[in-house]
Structure formats: structure tokens, C-alpha cells
Structure 1
Amino acid sequence: MTKPPATVRELIRETYSSLTQSERKFANLLLENYPAAGLASITIVASNADVSTPTVARMVQKLGFKGYPQFHQALLKELEAKVSGPTKRRDNWATEAPEGHLLNRFAQAVTDNLQQTFSNIDTVQFDAAVLQLSNTEGRLYVVGGRITRALADYAFTHFQAIRQRVTHMTSSSATWPHYVLDMVEGDTLLLFDVRRYETNLQRLAELASERGVKIVLITDQWASPIASVAEHTFNCWVEIPSAWDSNISTMMLLEAMIAATQEESWDKTKDRYDRLDELFDMTRLFRKFS
């Protein structure tokens, strides 16, 4: 399977150091409101960024596009991929997937997703997010969406063992105001949101951010709108030969975060593990082998 084409966001990141100050003004505007800021005409986007139209034209050529129309079409295709439902995704794979058994195509797609995901993780940002997740001075809230609530549940089970003051928010958005009521500055919200992005999660993130809560967002390669208020955003590549997206790269990133958080506070975590094992023995929850 050929490597999927780079998104406009990735192209900007790769070429950012070579852009002029004026070109960076447009690039920054686009990244702040991606991809909507680039979907208007070249004169409008240039005006919005307070740069000239030739500046925009030169920048898109540096990204590898022949001109602004090609750049505009690339953004439109990314937007279409964001909002497409399972039937549309399945149709795309049925016509574009290479020949061969589904198992082989699936394995290759997952491998590509993992490579793309981890090659695009900023280690400095990863370490900063881990520090935030291990900070017990504030409470850690964990929440997911319709599909990703399973990831949130998995995260909660592990973080609850690693550290104190962890809250698993229910999947019912009607209960979320009760949690927000107790959120204070210094708390952390670990949030999962992938396409189709959920408006209730976005509103929750906005309310939490207004209260000084630091948001760690795990999303897909196109990025949930929640990224605009998140302290740390991690993009996971998710496309596979299926009507559904894959959570394999998302799960691997999550497990890396869990492991790193455990190491960051190992002395306290080890004590919690020991005491937890004692409780397991007392409750006879697990079978013991002699």
C-alpha cells in the first residue's frame, strides 16, 4: 500500500522553517482555524491574514501545489473526509483499496497508521502532557464519545491505579454539568474525540477551558475542533479498509501515556500498586496460584 498523501497541515509543519514572516502569518491563521480559514477565495484569505495575495500564492507553491486552486481542492477533500459517514468511507475503500486479502490490506493500513501517528508526535509536548496527567494537585477527569468512551474507560482504569483523584465522566452528556461544577483551575481533562466530532464534547471542552482546566486531547489526523482550546493535542491516524475508523494507533498512544505517567510518579505509584494488591488479596477477587 502506498503512503497516504500528506495533509496540508503536515505540509505546513514540514516547510514552516522556510516560510517568510508574511507567509507564516497566513500559515498561522490557517492552523488556528483549520481547514476553514483556507476555504475562501485567495483574495479573502489574504485579507483575513493581512497579507498580499502574492504572499499566499508563493506559500502554497512552497507547499508543493501548482497554485491556489489545487491547494483549495486539497482542503476541500480533507473537509469531505472529516464529515464522511461509514457508508461513504466504505465506498472509498471498495474502489481504492489494492488487490489482496483483506487481512493483508488491514495489517498494512494499521502499520501505516502507527508509523504516521508516532512520527508526528512532538516528544516535548508528549512529556508535558505526561506531567499534566501525573499532577495530583489537580483532579484528572476522563471522558470519551460514542465510540471512544471505551478508550476513556480503559484510560480511567489504569490512571485510577497509578494516581489519586481521577474521575471517569459518564457517557451521558446530561450529567456533565455536575462534573463541570466541581472543576477548578489546575485540573486536567483527558478527552477523546474523533470524526464525526461531537458537539457536546466540544461544548464540554469550552466550559472546562473557561475554568482553567488543562485539556489533553486525543483525536484523529484531521483534528477535532476541540484542538482550539486544548493545551495538548495528539493526532492519531485511523483509516483502515472498513466503514469504521481504527483505534489501534489511538490505543497505542494511550498506553504509551499510561506507561510514561506511571514512570513519572513511580515511587507513589508503586506504593499504590502494593496497597491495591493487598486489597485484591483481601477481597479474593483474583485466583492465586501456588
Structure 2
Amino acid sequence: MSGRTPVVELLRQQQGTATAGERKVCRSLLADYPLAGLEPVARLAARAGVSAPTVLRLVGKLGFVGYPEFQQALKDELGERLSSPLDMYAKTAGRVGDHALDRSVEAFTQGIRSSLGAAPAAEVDAAVALLADARRPVTTIGGRFSGILAQYLAGHLRELRPRTSHVPDGGGDRAAALLDMGRRDVVVAFDYRRYEKATIRFGDLAKEQGVALILFTDPWLSPLASSADIVLPASVQAPSPFDSLVPALALVEAVVAALVDELGDEPRKRLARYDDLAEDVAE
């Protein structure tokens, strides 16, 4: 991944201080990211219901010298977004004397630091508020690899609060999980580069039923971001051709830590009961 902050993150940061017209442009870009930004400036302005100068003002505030530079950044991001392990192989191959342990220290340290440092506190707080509400059932879901993170979060949540479930891969389980979802439900979805259609479809269907949707994703954002209420991106920087989930796991751990802070002593009896039951079933 390049050293430049992804355009999508710049847009999210800008929304808090932008004018009303500029916020319309931000929403239009985020709703169909990054394709909306690859349209001519006049077409993007029409899509957002603003003037072309409003679009250009926003582009300048994002740090770009003109619309062509903005579009080139989007094209560069699109290439990174679609990169596969095969594409990344030559870029991450070790050099003579370059041990994988050294590369790992650098990649993981930078990935965790950048992800947690850039994590929007307001989004984390909003996610924690939803997860702390024991009246709201929580369902976690992920993909081929990211499902590990979904299971991991669900495991912690089950010990801290009631009504938590994880939906594994499989159409039948996912269909059954959607049956009774409504406005009180919370879905936590994990979806990273080479985004998985099944996870995106589940999230979209759940959102249509009124759930609150929290999305953990990468800096380029899963297509599910347009439906999500809360988006928590993390770096996928890795020492190998395969995207790393280490920064994403660190972000999950940070959310769990914030949830424990929010709940205070409330889960103590539940944790004690869990330990007693765990001993009983092990006998």
C-alpha cells in the first residue's frame, strides 16, 4: 500500500468540517466509491446536486492540485483494491539478507500503529454503544479468512453480554440467521480486499430489515461500506503476498477493550458463571 492516505479516508475526515454542498459531494462519492470519482467533474456535480466549483473546492481541501490529480489517486487506489496475492508476489518477495522476521516486525508495527492511530474515535464509540446494549442481539459474520475475526469477536462478546451469535459460511445458516432480524439487531461484518459477495449480500439483506450494521474492512472499503452505519478500516500491510489481518485483529482487541471500559463491573457475574459452567462441562 502506498504511503498516501486513501481518498476514502480523506473524504470521511472532511465530512465534519465541509460545507453543506461539499458534504453532498462526499456522500455521492462514498455511495459509489471509487467509481463516482472517476466521472467527469460536471457529471459528479450533477449526481451530488451541486455546482462544479463546489466539487473542485472539495478536491482542493482534500489536498489535490486539481481534479485530474484527484482522479489519478482514485485510479491508483483501484489498482491496489483489486490486487491479488499473485499481483503482490513480486512486490513482497524477500531480498538477500532480508529475513521474514525483520519484514514482519516492520509491517505489523506500522500496520497496527497506522490503523489504531487513524481509527475514528467517534465510530469506535458508536460501535461500543451498540455492542454494550444487552437488549440488542449481535450477529457476527465474515468470509474465508476474515471469518476468523468474526468468530474471535463473537467469542469475547458471548462472555461479556447475552444474545451473541456467529454465522459460519453456508447459505442455509445465513438464511436462517436473517429470518428474524429486525431493528433491534446488530450485525458486525468483516470484509477485506477481494471482497466476498456472500458477506456483502448478507449485510445488505440485513440492512434492508433495519439492523444496525458495523463493518470492519480495509482502507479501500468493502462495497458494504455504503450500507454500513459504522465503518472501521484497518491496514492489510503484510510481509508476504497475502493481506495481513494483524492490524484488523488489533482493532478488534481495541474495541473489546473499549467495551469492557463501557460495561465496567457489569459482566463480572456473567464471567464468573461462565468459568463455573466451563469447569462443569469439562468434567
Q: TM-score, normalised by structure 1?
A: 0.88
CA drift of 1:158 comes to 1.5
CA displacement at 1:99 relative to structure 2: 8.6
One-letter amino acid of the structure 2 residue matched with residue 12 of structure 1: L
1:149 aligns with 2:147: yes
Pick one of 210, 213, 232 that aligns with 1:212.
210
Contact between 1:98 and 1:105, CA under 8 Å: does it hold in 2?
no
What secondary structure sits across from 2:65 in the alignment?
A: coil
- Calculate the aligned-residue CA RMSD, in Å: 2.5
Instruction: Give the corresponding residue for 1:183.
Output: 181
> What amino acid maps onto 1:9 in structure 2?
V
Give the greater-gyration-radius structure (CA).
1
User: Secondary structure of the equivalent of 1:29?
Assistant: helix
User: How far did residue 13 of structure 1 move?
Assistant: 4.6
SS in structure 2 at match of 1:190: strand
Measured against aligned partners, the alpha-carbon deviations of 1:74-132 in whole angstroms (never above 9, x if no partner) come to 1011111111211112233359x999443323222222211221122222221221121
Q: Does 1:68 align with 2:64?
A: no
Give unmatched runs, 5+ long, in structure 2. Answer: none
Query: Judging changes above 3 Å, is the alpha-carbon distance between structure 1 residues 91 and 284 closer, same or farther for their aligned structure 2 residues?
Result: same
Q: Show CA shifts across 1:42-67 (max 9, x none).
A: 22222222333343334323333332
Residues in 2 aligned to 1:263 and 1:18: alpha-carbon distance in whole angstroms? 30
1:3–1:112 CA contact under 8 A, matched in 2: no
How many angstroms apart in 1 are the aligned matches of 2:89 and 2:213?
32
Please tell me whether the aligned partners of residues 188 and 213 of structure 2 are also in contact (alpha carbons under 8 angstroms): yes
How many pairs align?
283
Tell me whether 1:8 sits opposite 2:7 in the alignment.
yes
Greater Cα shift, 254-263 or 224-233: 254-263
- What is the CA–CA distance in structure 1 between the aligned matches of 2:15 and 2:79, rounded to whole Å? 25
State the AA in 2 paired with 1:66. Answer: V
Q: Distance in 2 between matches of 1:69 and 1:173?
A: 43
On the 8 A contact 2:34/2:74 being kept in 1, the answer is yes
Distance 2:234 2:7 in 1: 16
Quote how far apart the aligned CAs of 1:14 are: 5.1
Structure 2 length-normalised TM: 0.90
Give distance in 2, aligned partners of 1:45 and 1:196.
Answer: 26
Distance 1:19 1:188 in 2: 30
What is aligned with 1:91?
90
> Hey, what does 2:45 align to over in structure 1?
46
Provide the secondary structure at the position in 1 that maps to 2:267. Answer: helix
Q: State the distance in 2 between where 1:274 and 1:24 align.
A: 48
Question: Share of identical aligned residues, percent?
Answer: 36
Aligned pair in 2 of structure 1 residues 39, 279: CA closer, same or farther (>3 Å)? same
Give yes or no for the alignment of 1:80 onto 2:79.
yes
Deviations 1:217-254 (A, max 9, x none): 11111111111121211000112232111111111111
Whole-angstrom distance in 2 between the partners of 1:36 and 1:87: 24
Aligned mates of 1:99, 1:13 — CA distance in 2: 41
User: Aligned partners of 1:167 and 1:90: how far apart in 2?
Assistant: 36
Deviating 4+ runs (over 6 angstroms): none
Which residue pairs with 2:248 in the alignment?
Answer: 250
Cα distance in 2 for residues equivalent to 1:188 and 1:242: 34
Partner of 1:236: 234
Contact 2:130 2:136 in 1 (8 A): no
Contact 1:90 1:241 in 2 (8 A): no
Q: Which amino acid aligns with 2:8?
A: R
Instruction: Measure how far apart 1:169 and its partner are.
Output: 0.9
